[in-house]
Amino acid sequence: MPELKLPDIDYAALLPMLILFGAACVGVLIEGFVPRSVRNMVQLVLSLAAMVAALVFVIRRAGEVTAENAATIGGAIMIDNMGLFMEGALLVLGLVSLLLFGERTLERGGAFVPHAAVTVGSERDREQAVDSGATEVYPLALFSLGGMLMFVTANDLLTMFVALEVFSLPLYLMCALARRKRLLSQESALKYFLLGAYASAFFLFGVAMIYGFAKGVDFRAIHEAVRGSETSPTLLLIGLALVAIGLLFKIAAAPFHVWTPDVYQGAPTPVTAFMAACTKAAAFGALLRVLYVGFDGAKWHFTPVLGAVAVLTMLVGAVLAVTQTDLKRLLAYSSVANAGYLMVGLLGGNKDGLSSTLFYLVAYGFTVIAAFALVSLVRDADGEATHLSRWAGLGRRSPLFAGIFTFLLLAFAGIPLTSGFMAKFGVFGAAIAGDQTWLVIFGVLTSIVLAFPYLRVVVMMWLSEPGETTPSVSIPGVLTSAVLGIGTVATLLLGVLPGPLLELADQASSFIR
């Protein structure tokens, strides 16, 4: 029997992930042993502390990345500049959206249901209406976020698959935990789970194909096989297509976006914000790594096809957003279209494409979290009032919040002085530099289309008379206010002074193979 050699593990590099997973385990214990009355506070503080600690270690690591120390656990995880940037971005966005989880002043007991398994509308369900909401969401979110960190730093396809499942499974659960409109929530969770499993199957099948081609699943082996292999690349292309489908599902690219509107609408709004910002970022981080590190030699093959997917994504997102009547669905389609714009930057190739995509992810993340935070404020007796018609005349009732929402919508539309403009400008510029002008043409055209639904909301809020049914805007608690403030200020700052983040993204835009 040959000598057994265990891989070296660089715990310092893995610490952010380990902290999150560890804190999640502690969170499970807290569920078991801490009294219900203080559980929310304890869980919230623990989760935030874990994220901050993880963030601190990410930042401390920032200067120390070298080509030698980047890979760890036998090359399964790669903490390079790009991975570190994505970890930091995910932690910051996760931190902000986690604040929304903790909000308890808008609704008694918070946005989550105490016992999800209780049949909707039953006697017990009415009894639990006043109970404190489930606090399992915190460990679930931590598990999910830890999985995302692993996802963006995975250096082989199998680790990536494990990470994919680690961050997806908690998300499926969290989607089902809405306190109000729970049938919708449970339906969305089931849909998300089924389709997610379906997409995972594609991914796994693709991994098998690629293994058949490259005789390995780590990106260096794949890269070398793509460049130098004598074997016919049919297997490679099949594998690439299937792996890409698994990832395109997560970023919500058409036609793999079908789950997005249903899930965004059904999931509790804090979870939607978390998904819109973090899942998208994580999935793009992984897609960037797969395409730039593993398959860059097959660029000529995948660019036109993924370009077509990007165009379709932008078109579907923009066109379908036009007729949406529910604000959360509208934001879901906007998120689909934004996935298209991000793909434009990604397909631009080279360093510019990479750094502009990174900037876009962060900028969009902040804006979308703030937007969902605002959606959670407009409520009536049945919870959030997300139908568009209910928002008519909101500008008269609460000019401040309507003003903030207008600003956020303008950022989505990419109006100058907002981060949305800088972000779009960056990805389009990178695509032009990378000779993908056709993508930019579609990008600009769909941006025009997309401006319509955004502006329609603005017009409704400001120019319509408030009706009898116009709900009031709840006074946000400290946590939601903080989220709103952070998101709005970040949207403004990244639009006015994008320099520091652009520089950071530029420094981060290098992979180690």
Token pair recorded at residue 121: 């509308």
Cβ nearer to another protein, comparing 305 with 489:
305
- SS3 state of residue 112: strand
Cβ nearer to another protein, comparing 366 with 442:
442
CB 145 within 8 A of CB 231: no
Cβ nearer to another protein, comparing 97 with 334:
334
Cβ nearer to another protein, comparing 240 with 458:
240
Cβ nearer to another protein, comparing 62 with 425:
425
Cβ nearer to another protein, comparing 78 with 315:
315
DSSP for 265-290, please give it. Answer: HHS-HHHHHHIIIIIHHHHHHHHHHI
Query: How many residues bind to another protein according to rule CB under 8 A?
Result: 53
Cβ nearer to another protein, comparing 39 with 379:
39
Q: Which of 166, 254, 373, 451 binds another protein (CB under 8 A)?
A: 254
Kindly identify the residues of this chain, within the stretch 430-489, that bind another protein according to CB under 8 A. 449, 452
Specify the DSSP class assigned to residue 178: B
Token pair recorded at residue 365: 């993340």
Q: C-beta of 399: minimal distance to another protein in Å?
A: 26
Q: Is 240 in the site for another protein (CB under 8 A)?
A: yes
CB 513 within 8 A of CB 399: no
Q: Which of 82, 166, 320, 343 binds another protein (CB under 8 A)?
A: 320
Cβ nearer to another protein, comparing 206 with 365:
206
Q: Is 35 in the site for another protein (CB under 8 A)?
A: no
The enclosing H or E element of 378 equals strand 378-380
Binding span for another protein by CB under 8 A among 175-183, 298-306, 428-436, 461-469: 298-306
CA angle 32, 184, 200 (to 5 degrees): 75
User: Cβ contacts of residue 342 below 8 Å, gap of 6+?
Assistant: 251, 280, 284, 357, 360, 361, 364, 427
Token pair recorded at residue 417: 């002085």
CB 258 within 8 A of CB 249: no
Q: Is 308 in the site for another protein (CB under 8 A)?
A: yes
Q: Kindly give the residue spans of alpha helices, DSSP state H, lying in 176-233.
A: 182-214, 219-228
Q: Is 7 in the site for another protein (CB under 8 A)?
A: no
Q: Is 261 in the site for another protein (CB under 8 A)?
A: yes
Q: C-beta of 29: minimal distance to another protein in Å?
A: 7
Place of tokens 């639990």: 128
Q: Is 416 in the site for another protein (CB under 8 A)?
A: no
Q: Is 296 in the site for another protein (CB under 8 A)?
A: no
How many C-beta atoms lie closer than 10 Å to residue 81's C-beta? Answer: 17
Cβ nearer to another protein, comparing 261 with 498:
261
The H helix count followed by the E strand count for the chain is 21, 5
CB 397 within 8 A of CB 445: no
Q: Is 122 in the site for another protein (CB under 8 A)?
A: no
326 φ, ψ (degrees, to nearest 5): -110, 130
Q: C-beta of 104: minimal distance to another protein in Å?
A: 22
Kindly identify the residues of this chain, within the stretch 178-237, that bind another protein according to CB under 8 A. 190-191, 194-195, 198-199, 202, 212, 231-235, 237
| Cα–Cα distance for residue pair 72/82, rounded to 1 Å | 15
Task: Write down how long the chain is.
Answer: 513
Q: Is 304 in the site for another protein (CB under 8 A)?
A: yes
Q: Is 242 in the site for another protein (CB under 8 A)?
A: yes
The binding site for another protein (CB under 8 A) comprises 1, 4, 6, 25, 28-29, 31-33, 117, 190-191, 194-195, 198-199, 202, 212, 231-235, 237-238, 240-242, 244-245, 249, 254-256, 258-259, 261-262, 300-302, 304-305, 308-309, 316, 319-323, 449, 452
